[in-house]
Amino acid sequence: MIDIKAIRSQFPILDQKVNGHPLVYLDNAATSQKPLGVIDALRNYYLESNANVHRGIHTLSQIATEQMEAARKKVQRFIGARHDHEVIFTKGTTEGINLIAYALTPLISEGDEIIVSHLEHHSNIVPWQMLCERTGAVLRVIPMDGNGVLQLDFLEKILNEKTKIVSVNQVSNALGVINPIEEIIAMTRRLSSAWVVIDGAQSVPHFKIDVQSMDCDFFVFSGHKMYAPMGTGILYGKEAVLEKIHPFHGGGEMIHTCSFEKTTYAALPFRLEAGTPNVGGNIALGAAVDFIESVGHSFIQEHEEALLAKAQKQLSEIGGLKIYAEKAPRTGVVSFTIEGAGIASDAGMILDKMGIAVRTGHHCTQPIMDFFNIAGTVRASFAVYNTLEEIDVLTEGVRKAKRMLL
Ligand SMILES: *Cc1c(COP(=O)(O)O)cnc(C)c1O
């Protein structure tokens, strides 16, 4: 039996008052709070072993290198990758997707097709539009229905031999919808030879990931949404695919030999990690993996399902709320508007006065907002340290916001 109090005690930031009320932090889809284990890992690195990695033969440099490579191995195990050199440190999902889009550029030609879904974050749209501009490739979109469910019969129609990349998220940050990526990947394999990119920014904090059984070519996520420091992230790629792609950044750490006539590149993973990495952050990302594993995926999933079910039930009982994608399989997020109550940020400000942190707006997913013909939603998003009592506070807060705004 896992005790939420014991989990919360690892997050001292939660134990404070905001605007005179106990903080209820429900903006975890934007960034999660960090447990002491992560903060200590970062602090200990700077207190005891700060040095640049891979370059020095001195002791601190060796320790820093060993600690960072140990974190890489932890991530490898955490996501089920075959090799540790398939795990590339980045500064987040955005950098990961841009890296892929640049690295694949020489392999994309005019008239090739790239498929994303209507449920994507801007960072899984814009890098592909830029790739299309560079190459003359065409961007196509898997549509969704009114429940926020992707229409796979349409994907089946648009997949063909010109499809080079299919890039979708496993979980939508704006609505919390869990996408059927197993079916999307199987269909893509059957009907094309495209590379599959999975944006796992919102799934890694909630689910056990196994990139080998998933059979994606790339899997990207951010550290900061899974209890790790800001400015950390992971790009996983299958060895055979990473061997084939062009480096994204050129610079130190990524060369084998360098002369003015010709430079040869280092082996994986360093070929894709130019420059000095975020050593302390990457080590602390390993500590975030330790935290998640210490709590356990089954507890995380069970508890977060209970939070979502309670929020869904209580918010819909208020009446006059439109909850988006409420019939779709979801995790971690309730996204709603109060009907007739103007813009979402008004409700967000009232909730903040009560110490409740939610996000309002378009959540970097304007195409989803356009689909529903709204400017934004109020989004409450959960992490393992949230309590069922906090859902009561949220419900009361929304009830009050509705009274004030109507
Ligand atoms: C947050 C998020 C991103 C972007 O992540 P950054 O950490 O800002 O780089 C991309 N996709 C999804 C689904 C997200 O939730």
Q: State the pLDDT at residue 13.
A: 98
pLDDT band at 385 (very low <50, low <70, confident <90, very high): very high
Indicate if ligand 1 lies below 6 Å from the C-beta of 173: yes
In the chain, the percentage of residues whose pLDDT exceeds 90 is: 96
Indicate if ligand 1 lies below 6 Å from the C-beta of 170: no
Q: State the pLDDT at residue 346.
A: 92
Neighbouring CB atoms inside 10 A of 268's CB total: 18
Measure 121 CA to ligand 1 centroid, in angstroms.
Answer: 7
What is the per-residue pLDDT across 118-132, written as a single tens digit (0 to 9) for each? 999 999 999 999 999
Q: State the pLDDT at residue 246.
A: 87
The stretch 340-365 carries a mean pLDDT of: 94
Length of the chain (residues):
406
Q: Is the pLDDT of residue 44 over 90?
A: yes
CA nearest to 381, candidates 121, 227, 174: 174
What is the per-residue pLDDT across 80-110, written as a single tens digit (0 to 9) for each? 999 999 999 999 999 999 999 999 999 999 9
The residue whose two tokens read 């004030």 is 404
Whole-angstrom distance, CA of residue 286 vs CA of residue 195: 28
Residue whose CB lies within 8 A of the most ligand 1 atoms, among 121, 169, 235, for a mutation test: 121
Instruction: Tell me the pLDDT of the chain averaged across its residues.
Output: 96
| Least confidently predicted of 15-19, 43-47, 190-194, 337-341 | 337-341
**DSSP states along 193-222:** --EEEEE-TTTTTTS---HHHHT-SEEEEE
Ligand 1 atom, smallest distance to 233 CA: 7
What is the per-residue pLDDT across 172-217, written as a single tens digit (0 to 9) for each? 999 999 999 999 999 999 999 999 999 999 999 999 999 999 999 9
Write the residue with the smallest CA distance to atom 2 of ligand 1.
201
Indicate if ligand 1 lies below 6 Å from the C-beta of 179: no
Indicate if ligand 1 lies below 6 Å from the C-beta of 199: yes
Ligand 1 atom, smallest distance to 173 CA: 15
Ligand 1 atom, smallest distance to 29 CA: 15
Measure 123 CA to ligand 1 centroid, in angstroms.
Answer: 7
Measure 270 CA to ligand 1 centroid, in angstroms.
Answer: 24
Indicate if ligand 1 lies below 6 Å from the C-beta of 201: yes
Measure 116 CA to ligand 1 centroid, in angstroms.
Answer: 15
| Least confidently predicted of 64-68, 155-159, 243-247, 353-357 | 243-247
Q: Is the pLDDT of residue 1 over 80?
A: no
Ligand 1 atom, smallest distance to 91 CA: 9
Measure 26 CA to ligand 1 centroid, in angstroms.
Answer: 17
The stretch 11-34 carries a mean pLDDT of: 98
Residue whose CB lies within 8 A of the most ligand 1 atoms, among 99, 126, 202, for a mutation test: 202
Measure 92 CA to ligand 1 centroid, in angstroms.
Answer: 7
∠ CA 270-122-205, nearest 5°, is 65
| pTM given for the model | 0.97
Q: Is the pLDDT of residue 61 over 70?
A: yes
The helix-helix angle for 344-353 and 388-405 (nearest 10°) equals 120
Phi-psi region of 374 (alpha: psi -120 to 50; beta: other; left: phi over 0): beta
Q: State the pLDDT at residue 222.
A: 98
Indicate if ligand 1 lies below 6 Å from the C-beta of 92: yes
Indicate if ligand 1 lies below 6 Å from the C-beta of 123: yes
The helix-helix angle for 279-295 and 36-44 (nearest 10°) equals 150
Neighbouring CB atoms inside 10 A of 255's CB total: 17
Indicate if ligand 1 lies below 6 Å from the C-beta of 202: yes
CA nearest to 315, candidates 366, 345, 358, 373: 358
Check: CB of residue 202 under 8 Å from CB of residue 335. no
Residue 25 main-chain phi, psi, to 5 deg: -90, 105
Kindly list the catalytic residues: 364
Q: State the pLDDT at residue 283.
A: 98
Q: State the pLDDT at residue 55.
A: 76
Q: Is the pLDDT of residue 325 over 90?
A: yes
Indicate if ligand 1 lies below 6 Å from the C-beta of 359: no
Measure 399 CA to ligand 1 centroid, in angstroms.
Answer: 30
Q: State the pLDDT at residue 273.
A: 95
